[in-house]
Amino acid sequence: MTRKAAIMAALALLMGIGLTQVSPFRARLEAALHQGGHEFAQVMLSQDKGQALCSQYRDKLPADLIPGFLAEQKALIKYPANGKLMGDWKNGEKVFTDPKRGNCYACHAGVASEVAHGTMGPPLTNYGQRGTSEAVVRYTYEKIYNAWAFVPCSLMYRGGVHGLFTPEETADLVAFLLDPESPINRR
């Protein structure tokens, strides 16, 4: 074997080994997700049919797929057994701030005094100004439970669909956002 052929074979072997290794980014991502617990990591690392479509089309679904996608996502929404879409805002605050469940501050501003918040999502401070009509409560509930029922491939994760919070806890999150007594709405 010539020297050039030996070098090429060694490079091919190294590239093969390198391509089979977990990338440093993927390793860091998986480690961060596992800090939220095994179930959280499993949810965040697995793909369902909707996620596979979003991945396939790089979050830009073709127009002809959108109506069916939205209908499928809407069908995944579950409601509290008692039928009430607005629960206890105090429990909603706990879910909102829990990094293993709601983790809403990762993307949203909430309580005005909280300075550690993300900016990926819109600020939710004074969200309750929208009122508590049936339409506002239903929209808020459904958007929290499964944001993809409104915006295909939204960056907002589907906490209810993935079991990170229950329908009752979703109703508690709604109350945290809409109840006038909630810190979100107090000035």
Mean pLDDT of 28-33: 72
**Lowest pLDDT segment from 20-34, 137-151, 162-176:** 20-34
Note the pLDDT of residue 91: 96
Note the pLDDT of residue 133: 95
Note the pLDDT of residue 43: 66
Q: Which residues contact 63 (CB under 8 A, 6 or more apart)?
A: none
Give the model confidence (pLDDT) of 5-15 as tens digits: 556 555 555 45
Give the model confidence (pLDDT) of 98-126 as tens digits: 888 888 888 898 888 888 888 888 999 99
Q: Which residues contact 53 (CB under 8 A, 6 or more apart)?
A: 61, 65, 69, 153
40 or 50, greater pLDDT: 50
Residues in the chain: 187
User: Which pTM value belongs to this model?
Assistant: 0.75
pLDDT surpassing 90 at residue 80: yes
pLDDT surpassing 90 at residue 2: no
Contact 182, 92 (CB under 8 A): yes
Q: Calculate the alpha carbon distances from 17 to 2, 11, 13, 14, 43 in Å.
A: 23, 10, 6, 5, 29
The span from the CA of 185 to the CA of 128, in Å, is 6
Q: How many CB atoms lie within 10 A of CB 169?
A: 25
Counting residues of the chain whose pLDDT is more than 90, the rounded percentage is 50
Note the pLDDT of residue 16: 53
What's the angle, vertex CA 11, arms to CA 6 and CA 15, rounded to 5? 150
3-state secondary structure the chain: CCHHHHHHHHHHHHHHHHHHCCCHHHHHHHHHHHHCCHHHHHHHHCCCHHHHHHHHCCCCCCHHHHHHHHHHHHHCCCCCCCCCCCCCHHHHHHHHHCCCCCCHHHCCCCCCCCCCCCCCCCCCCCHHHHCCCHHHHHHHHHHHHCHHHCCCCCCCCCCCCCCCCCHHHHHHHHHHHHCCCCCCCCC
